[in-house]
């Protein structure tokens, strides 16, 4: 095989042997070097030029440059084209190089991080880039994970460790990982050096939540799953150290597999410009052909009579050949219909618009010291045309923070505050919080405003005390007391932490736990409860319970869960209280709060013993164990006594509902793509008001097979369209049957929502169902996709891009959003504490979701408006400027002679008219930013592409052609009959040229003044300055002095002085200006008066309100009224009760020196049976020793 030919190898499964680099090198696995940049020093020039010449105009100007180098056909100097072309290419290349430099800098920073690698029996510091598959590396607390590694052992008992996955999924709460039991004792370098296990696992993929593999070691094999893996991008937390074996490295890690390729993004206006340039080139060819034919005819009939005076060149063989040369000459002369300066100006405008985004103080987040950042300068006008937004949930819409807001205890509601007239008062930042100073262990970050609940606690009301006692006992939270009284709770879900923190502040402080006890500090008094059982949470039960024995020996069951579940298990004596609590729960749910019902039960000793024996038997059976345990849980959780309910607020990011409301009014569809479970996603939907109870229907697609999904989608579509025309035909027939249903999208008045799970989405994205999914989704007001993988997020975006001609925007904050961000036309990253992967891959970034409304409705709309006006005006003035040559051709023998002085042609776009149009493109605004936010429907013009399209291009070029016609024929007709004061004719070519040039500059300056909506000092300065510059340059370039120095280059000697000193010339200029401008003024006035657009109406309203000053009108959050309630809405997982009662997560004294011969822990059921007769009546004094012991045994646990 030739050395340059690389063998392609498709990896079906991976074999990795520990501490065996030579063995692993046989498979050519990727090293740990990462690359997110697009170019290197060798590929930059060819790739960048290739990308730039995808813009057809650049190729067009390159062809013109080549033509201008041919003396026989060129009447213009070659430098008039090459200088602007090189400027455009260089400016764009420098900008692209700067962007890629920062990518290289970021790559180097990551690749050069240090990590400890086990090499030849000792730990050595190595750069990340040098880590190889199969290496064993050591991580220490708060270090980033260098690669995807298999956890072997850690400083924690049983090989547990805790990681933060903010870079992967945007979640800041900790997650637990556990090593295999057989490797958990390999904490010594010598043992790790001798470790020779081999891992056989799946090939590299982008599934962040799945891993399948097997460890072969010592003639045994052990199953591996995702709970044994630490992925690159995670941070080790609350764990002194751990060792791991590298499985995937570099670009093959799951983090990098989700990053996707960096795509070259272009705006829809760029794509339209490519089409328009082709049209203009075709128009240019047509004009060239007409003039070439005219030259051939003129030479045949008239020109040959002038050969004595104007002889043909030697290579002119005939009139036809003369026409052929004339064609190319006119192609060069008329090329200014699309001047290269247009693209220079476009790049300058985009750069300016990007700076405006960066400088916007209203998008600056002071708490994080983070400003908005335009990370690209090529997509600004695209921000004004977005129709679909794809948003992540956690960290993007929400803060992933739960706050105890209200509660109901024994039928009484707490949490609202009232004034002296018994009227409810809104809680603001200035509202005084409850004083918890009576409790030395209170959490200072906790805020509550209703002091009556504290009073009830101080009065020792039994129901209130039992309520908070339940919250302090019934959970799986782990405490960490870093110093005396400084408690930190690590909860497996945010709502667990919020409830335990609330109990802590109201005097029931959760201090410590062991596998057998829970220690509280109740109103300053230490009390230890014996933990008898934990009936764990799962998605079917939707509740959890604990069974404890108090210091008096009384056994109690405390239960919390979904209210519908709890209410079905209440004692009949609680019926009235249940109805009262139900009404209060409806009020809580109407405010978008998450609710849980709380209940308890006193248990008889004999009954409990019998139940425990049944439980022990059920826990040892092999068949249907889970079902038998569920029956026993159901048996004991009956006849409960209702205590009340909690109402927790999932802290949305500030301004999220208002932002979504405004964007919806702008006809922007918002799809939420999240990895969270169905209930969580729907609850956030209701909180954000993208789901509402007044919607006609919320369709939930949860089928597990393709057929089920197809049927559910078909049923949803039938219901929306009110049709029953889907029969048992083939899929192709059904698709054709529904092909015309897109017309219904605009006419559907009812509001629907679609919620689809990840399993169903996988089937729905199949080719045969893809169009049906898109049809149903587009007919719905809201779409929520839950439990989706990062790749599915990207597939949904690609589906919409592929089948709908719309601009898409994706916004997220974690590495799991990178594929989606790169797939969308515009990618937005939320920068903050959740990691920077999304920001690094994004086109725009800021700190809060609420800034998206300003980015789109203000900056996006303004950028689109300014760019469209700029393009319309630019084409208008250049057609007016260029087509004068066309009309002149009929009067100069089609000789390709230029009308204007060559210096005027060179300077017209660069100097005389560049600054006014740039001022309009940078500063113009039809309405203010407050008005843009107040009236979101103004945004629809961009979505419908109304301001610049093929029709608008045709109209502005038609206006330019008409202006050129008037610019030529009015002076031509006037000079035919005009004499100087001395009786001589004024109609020499140079005077004619100066008159047309002066009229042109004045006409286009007046026109841009009329087209300006928002005047600034710079607009006035640029317009008057450009006119002054024109006249100064005109007199200077046509002066005697410069002619004396450069005689051949400045032939128009004295033309301006002789021409512009005559009153008749100024009258011609005035007449030309009025005739050119007046029709446009009349048409604009009639249009605004007779057919006003929404913008016209709002501008009139804005002018009427101008005297009152700016008025900020914000959308108020709409509180929903609903009976829909939820519990455990967040990532509460099953299995942590078993982990706690087994003692595996309890820190042992001197854990680093624990014996490798440690016996395997028994289950909590077995532990309970061993101690079933040990009745603990623990007094206040006797709790001191266990308390201190528990402090030594304490461990951090957080696995949300």
Q: Which residues are designated catalytic?
A: 392
In this structure, the strands spanning 543-549 and 555-561 are antiparallel
Residue carrying the six token digits 């101690």: 1171
- CB 289 within 8 Å of CB 846: no
CA-to-CA dists, residue 623 to 371, 619, 633, 929, angstroms: 59, 10, 17, 67
Using CA atoms, how far apart are residues 1189 and 513, in angstroms rounded to an integer? 10
Instruction: Indicate the SS3 state at residue 521.
Output: strand
- CB 375 within 8 Å of CB 844: yes
Question: Which residues neighbour 844 within 8 Å (Cβ) at sequence distance 6 or greater?
Answer: 357, 372, 373, 374, 375, 376, 383, 826, 827, 828, 829, 855
Please give the structure tokens belonging to residue 241. Answer: 């150290």
Question: Which residues neighbour 1194 within 8 Å (Cβ) at sequence distance 6 or greater?
Answer: 478, 479, 480, 481, 512, 1146, 1147
CA-to-CA dists, residue 494 to 399, 402, 522, 684, 928, angstroms: 11, 6, 23, 14, 41
Backbone angles phi, psi at 305, to 5 degrees: -75, -15
Burial of residue 459, with CB atoms counted within 10 A of its CB: 0-12 exposed, 13-18 middle, 19 or more buried: exposed
- CB 846 within 8 Å of CB 367: no
From the CB of residue 482, how many other CB atoms can be counted at a distance below 10 Å?
8
Helix 706-721 with 767-779: angle, nearest 10 deg: 30
- CB 1193 within 8 Å of CB 1147: yes
Burial of residue 810, with CB atoms counted within 10 A of its CB: 0-12 exposed, 13-18 middle, 19 or more buried: buried
Question: Which residues neighbour 410 within 8 Å (Cβ) at sequence distance 6 or greater?
Answer: 463, 464, 467, 577, 643, 644
Question: Which residues neighbour 301 within 8 Å (Cβ) at sequence distance 6 or greater?
Answer: none
Using CA atoms, how far apart are residues 337 and 1188, in angstroms rounded to an integer? 86
CA-nearest of 445, 443, 450, 510 to 476 is 510
CA-nearest of 467, 478, 536, 545 to 507 is 467
Query: What is the spatial order of strands in the sheet that 229-230 belongs to?
Result: 122-127, 114-119, 136-140, 241-248, 148-154, 229-230
Instruction: Indicate the SS3 state at residue 409.
Output: strand
Using CA atoms, how far apart are residues 1039 and 1052, in angstroms rounded to an integer? 8
Using CA atoms, how far apart are residues 555 and 534, in angstroms rounded to an integer? 13
Q: What CA dihedral angle connects 18, 22, 23 and 26, to 10 degrees?
A: 130
Question: Which residues neighbour 16 within 8 Å (Cβ) at sequence distance 6 or greater?
Answer: 24, 29, 133, 134, 198, 199, 201, 245, 246, 247
- CB 450 within 8 Å of CB 416: yes
How distant is the alpha carbon of residue 823 from its chain centre?
11
Using CA atoms, how far apart are residues 61 and 335, in angstroms rounded to an integer? 9
CA-to-CA dists, residue 1158 to 183, 1153, 1197, angstroms: 13, 11, 22
Instruction: Indicate the SS3 state at residue 217.
Output: strand
Instruction: Indicate the SS3 state at residue 318.
Output: coil
Q: E strand or H helix at 387, and its extent? A: strand 386-391
- CB 878 within 8 Å of CB 336: yes
């Amino acid at each position: 095989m030739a050395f340059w030919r690389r063998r392609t190898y498709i990896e079906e499964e991976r074999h990795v042997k520990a501490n065996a680099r030579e063995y692993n090198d046989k498979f050519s696995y990727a090293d740990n070097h990462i690359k997110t940049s697009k170019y290197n020093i060798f590929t930059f020039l060819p790739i960048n030029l290739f990308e730039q010449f995808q813009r057809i105009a650049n190729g067009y100007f390159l062809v013109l440059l080549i033509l201008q180098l041919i003396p026989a056909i060129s009447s213009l100097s070659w430098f008039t084209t090459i200088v602007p072309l090189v400027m455009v290419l260089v400016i764009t290349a420098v900008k692209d190089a700067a962007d890629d430099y920062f990518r290289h800098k970021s790559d180097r920073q990551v690749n050069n991080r240090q990590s400890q690698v086990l090499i030849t029996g000792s730990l050595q510091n190595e750069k990340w880039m040098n880590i190889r598959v199969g290496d064993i590396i050591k991580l220490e607390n708060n270090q980033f994970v260098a690669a995807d590694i298999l956890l072997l052992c850690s400083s924690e008992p049983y090989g547990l460790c805790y990681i933060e996955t903010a870079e992967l999924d945007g979640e800041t709460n900790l997650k637990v990982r556990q090593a295999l039991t057989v490797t958990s004792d390999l904490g010594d370098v010598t043992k790790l050096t001798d470790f020779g296990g081999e891992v056989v696992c799946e090939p590299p993929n982008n599934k962040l939540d799945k891993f399948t593999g097997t460890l072969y070691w010592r003639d045994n094999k052990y199953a591996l799953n995702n709970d044994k893996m630490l992925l690159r991008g995670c941070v080790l937390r609350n764990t002194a150290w751990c060792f791991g074996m590298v499985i995937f490295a570099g670009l093959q890690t799951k983090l990098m597999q989700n990053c996707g390729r960096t795509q070259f993004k272009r705006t829809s206006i760029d794509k339209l410009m490519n089409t328009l340039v082709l049209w203009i080139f075709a128009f240019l060819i047509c004009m060239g052909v007409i003039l070439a034919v005219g030259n051939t005819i003129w030479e045949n009939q008239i020109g040959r009579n002038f050969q004595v005076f104007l002889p043909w060149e030697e290579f002119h063989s005939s009139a036809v050949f003369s026409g052929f040369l004339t064609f190319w000459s006119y192609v060069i002369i008329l090329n200014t219909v699309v001047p290269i300066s247009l693209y220079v100006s476009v790049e300058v405008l985009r750069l300016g618009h990007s700076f405006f985004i960066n400088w916007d103080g209203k998008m600056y987040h002071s708490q994080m010291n983070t400003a908005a950042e335009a990370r690209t300068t090529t997509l600004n006008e695209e921000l004004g045309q977005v129709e679909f937004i794809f948003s992540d949930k956690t960290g993007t819409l929400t803060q992933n923070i739960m706050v105890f807001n209200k509660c109901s205890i024994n039928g009484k509601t707490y949490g609202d505050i009232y004034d002296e007239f018994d009227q409810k008062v809104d809680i603001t930042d200035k509202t005084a919080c409850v004083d918890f100073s009576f409790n030395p262990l209170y959490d200072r970050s906790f805020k509550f405003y209703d002091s009556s609940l504290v009073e009830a606690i101080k009065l020792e009301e039994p129901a209130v005390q039992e309520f908070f006692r339940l919250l302090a006992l019934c959970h799986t939270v782990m405490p960490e007391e870093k110093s005396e009284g400084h408690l930190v709770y690590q909860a497996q879900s945010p709502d667990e932490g919020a409830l335990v923190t609330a109990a802590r502040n109201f005097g029931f402080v959760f201090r410590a736990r062991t596998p057998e006890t829970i220690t509280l500090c109740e109103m300053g008094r230490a009390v230890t409860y014996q933990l008898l059982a934990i009936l764990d949470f799962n998605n079917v039960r939707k509740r959890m319970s604990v069974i404890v024995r108090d210091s008096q020996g009384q056994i109690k069951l405390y239960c919390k869960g979904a209210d519908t579940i709890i209410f079905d298990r209440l004692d009949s004596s609680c019926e009235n209280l249940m109805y009262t609590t139900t009404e209060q729960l409806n009020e809580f749910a109407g405010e978008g709060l998450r609710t849980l019902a709380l209940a308890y039960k006193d248990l008889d000793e004999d009954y409990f013993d019998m139940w425990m024996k049944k439980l022990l038997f059920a826990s040892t059976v092999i068949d249907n164990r889970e079902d038998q345990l569920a029956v026993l849980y159901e048996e004991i959780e009956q006849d409960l006594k209702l205590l009340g309910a909690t109402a927790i607020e999932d802290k949305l990011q500030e301004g999220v509902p208002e932002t979504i409301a405004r964007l919806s009014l702008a006809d922007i569809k918002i799809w939420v793509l999240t990895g969270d479970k169905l209930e969580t996603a729907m609850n956030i939907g209701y909180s954000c008001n993208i789901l509402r109870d007044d919607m006609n229907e919320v369709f939930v697609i949860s089928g597990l097979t393709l057929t089920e999904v197809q049927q559910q989608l078909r049923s949803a579509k039938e219901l929306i369209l009110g049709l029953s025309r889907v029969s048992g035909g083939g899929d192709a027939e059904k698709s054709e049957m529904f092909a015309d249903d897109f017309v219904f999208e605009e006419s559907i008045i009812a509001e629907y929502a679609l919620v689809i799970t990840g399993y169903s989405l996988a089937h729905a994205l199949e080719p045969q169902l893809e169009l049906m999914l898109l049809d149903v989704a587009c007919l719905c007001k809201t779409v929520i996709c839950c439990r989706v993988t990062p790749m599915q997020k990207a597939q949904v975006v690609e589906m919409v891009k592929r089948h709908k001609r719309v601009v898409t925007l994706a916004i997220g904050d974690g590495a799991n959003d990178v594929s989606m961000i790169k797939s969308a036309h515009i990618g937005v990253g939320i920068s903050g504490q959740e990691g920077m992967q999304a920001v690094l891959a994004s086109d725009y970034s800021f700190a809060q979701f609420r800034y998206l409304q300003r980015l789109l409705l203000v900056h996006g709309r303004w950028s689109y408006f300014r760019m469209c006006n700029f393009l319309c005006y630019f084409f208008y003035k250049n057609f007016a400027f260029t087509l004068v040559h066309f009309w002149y051709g009929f009067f100069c023998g089609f000789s390709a002679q230029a009308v204007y002085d060559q210096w005027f042609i060179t300077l017209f776009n660069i100097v005389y008219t560049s600054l006014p149009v740039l001022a309009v493109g940078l500063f113009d605004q039809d309405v203010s930013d407050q008005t843009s936010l107040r009236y979101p429907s103004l945004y629809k013009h961009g979505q419908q592409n109304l301001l610049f399209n093929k029709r608008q291009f045709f109209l502005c070029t038609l206006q330019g052609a008409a202006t050129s016609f008037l610019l030529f024929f009015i002076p031509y007709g006037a000079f035919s009959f005009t004499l100087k004061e001395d009786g001589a004719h004024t109609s020499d070519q140079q005077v004619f040229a100066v008159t047309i040039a002066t009229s042109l500059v004045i006409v286009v300056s007046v026109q841009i003044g009329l087209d300006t909506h928002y005047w600034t000092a710079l607009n006035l300065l640029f317009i008057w300055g450009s006119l002054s510059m024109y006249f100064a340059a005109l007199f200077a370039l046509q002066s005697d002095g410069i002619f004396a120095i450069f005689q051949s280059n400045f032939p128009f000697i004295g033309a301006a002085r002789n021409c512009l000193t005559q009153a008749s010339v100024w009258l011609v200029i005035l007449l030309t200006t009025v005739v050119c401008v007046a029709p446009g003024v009349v048409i604009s006035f009639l249009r605004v008066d007779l057919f006003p657009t929404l913008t016209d109406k709002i501008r009139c309203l804005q002018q009427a309100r101008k005297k009152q000053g700016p008025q900020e009108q914000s959308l108020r959050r709409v509180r929903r009224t609903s009976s829909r309630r939820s519990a455990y809405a967040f990532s509460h997982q099953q299995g942590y009760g078993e982990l706690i009662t087994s003692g595996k997560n309890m820190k042992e004294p001197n854990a680093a020196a624990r014996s490798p011969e440690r016996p395997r822990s028994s289950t909590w059921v077995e532990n309970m049976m061993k101690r079933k007769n040990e009745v603990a009546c623990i007094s206040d004094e006797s709790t001191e020793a266990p308390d201190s012991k528990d402090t030594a045994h304490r461990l951090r646990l957080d696995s949300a």
